Structure 1
Amino acid sequence: MNAVPSRSPLRLSARRRRFCYGVGLGLWLSGAGWLLFHYGLQQQGSFGPQPHPLEIWWLRVHGAFAFATLWAFGMTWSAHIVGGWQTLRQRWSGGAGVGMLLVQILSGYLIYYLVDDAWHDKVALMHWMIGLTLPAVIATHIVRGRRPRR
């Protein structure tokens, strides 16, 4: 008989954790890749700076990972977040991560669908600044959660 390692009821299974980490990493790398190609690798054309031909593909991949992130967030909400909030542990890091992710979802939607030209650059700047820092908040939450309780 194989022993199944015990885990906290709030800890996601190894498969779900790998899925969430993979989706999060893909989302972050595709967003950072888009930033690099959009701001750092523009090409000079006869009419001024032109977007890099691969820039649009970074954005498409980012959109696909954003969609997968919504699914991972829903799975994490039901399996971890609701129960975790009730334990009163790590509310600051967990709440900050959830709040930042909700801002990312809303700002991504606004960038794609609703924002007029006057607001587009401001919302986009906020979106990528939060997006670049969100992994640090989530990593802090994970590391603190693995420490033994006092």
Structure 2
Amino acid sequence: MSNLHSHQPRWTFRISRQRLWALYAAFTLLLLTGLTWLLVRFLAAEPETLAPWQAWSMKLHGAAALIVMFLLGMIWSAHIRHAWIRRHNRLAGGLFGAVIVLLVASGYGLYYFNGEGLRSLTEWLHWLCGVAIGGLFWVHLAAGRRSVAGRK
């Protein structure tokens, strides 16, 4: 009986160092710009004086989001698809991916949805998922490393 994994090298799921650092940088920029926007919105005593910070953080946040989506597309077949098919790190990766989908959908909604209720709900969903994604990323990374260590 042949082993499904026997013809695949162990490093199939690994992301190149350059792409990994690009993902780290883009996700960091995304998180920092989102947190900057939230801090200015909720903690500023005089929001009108900090409005330029809020506007620039939003512009950088949108650019970083496009870069992250591009990079995630780049690693789709080499990392995400292959790991999913081989049932590696599915729980952490699936949760991470689901929150990414919610972030993309709610980001779209923030740009296009009208109506106070729907807009407010979309904002809160985006903020909660945005804050949660940092922790989910580290959970996914740690689970993947434990899985690799366990197979050696």
Shorter chain as denominator, the TM-score bin is 0.7 to 0.9
Please name the residue that 1:59 is paired with.
58
Q: How many Å apart are 1:52 and its aligned residue?
A: 2.1
Percent identity reads 29
Q: How many Å apart are 1:143 and its aligned residue?
A: 1.2
Q: How many Å apart are 1:31 and its aligned residue?
A: 0.3
Give the AA of the match of 1:75.
M
CA distance, structure 2, for counterparts of residue 31 and residue 74 of structure 1: 22
> What count of residue pairs does the alignment treat as equivalent?
140
Alignment partner for residue 31 of structure 2, among 17, 28, 33?
Answer: 28
Does structure 2 conserve the Cα–Cα contact (< 8 Å) formed by 1:111 and 1:120? Answer: yes
Please name the residue that 2:132 is paired with.
133
Q: How many Å apart are 1:90 and its aligned residue?
A: 1.1
Give the AA of the match of 2:29.
G
Does structure 2 conserve the Cα–Cα contact (< 8 Å) formed by 1:41 and 1:52? Answer: yes
CA distance, structure 2, for counterparts of residue 83 and residue 126 of structure 1: 30
1:39 aligns with 2:37: no
Q: How many Å apart are 1:70 and its aligned residue?
A: 1.1
Does structure 2 conserve the Cα–Cα contact (< 8 Å) formed by 1:34 and 1:59? Answer: yes
- Superposition RMSD in Å: 1.7
Q: Which structure 2 residues correspond to residues 1-150 of structure 1 after superposition, within 5 A? A: 8-43=11-46, 50=48, 52-53=50-51, 54-147=53-146, 148-149=149-150
Instruction: Report which of the two has the higher share of helix.
Output: 2
CA distance, structure 2, for counterparts of residue 42 and residue 142 of structure 1: 38
Does structure 2 conserve the Cα–Cα contact (< 8 Å) formed by 1:27 and 1:62? Answer: yes
Give the AA of the match of 1:117.
E
Q: How many Å apart are 1:7 and its aligned residue?
A: 6.7
Q: What's the TM-score, normalizing by structure 1? A: 0.87
CA distance, structure 1, for counterparts of residue 31 and residue 11 of structure 2: 28
CA distance, structure 1, for counterparts of residue 68 and residue 116 of structure 2: 27
Give the AA of the match of 1:94.
G
Q: What's the TM-score, normalizing by structure 2? A: 0.86
Give the AA of the match of 1:138.
F
CA distance, structure 2, for counterparts of residue 78 and residue 42 of structure 1: 47
Q: How many Å apart are 1:131 and its aligned residue?
A: 0.5
Does structure 2 conserve the Cα–Cα contact (< 8 Å) formed by 1:42 and 1:51? Answer: no
Q: How many Å apart are 1:107 and its aligned residue?
A: 0.3
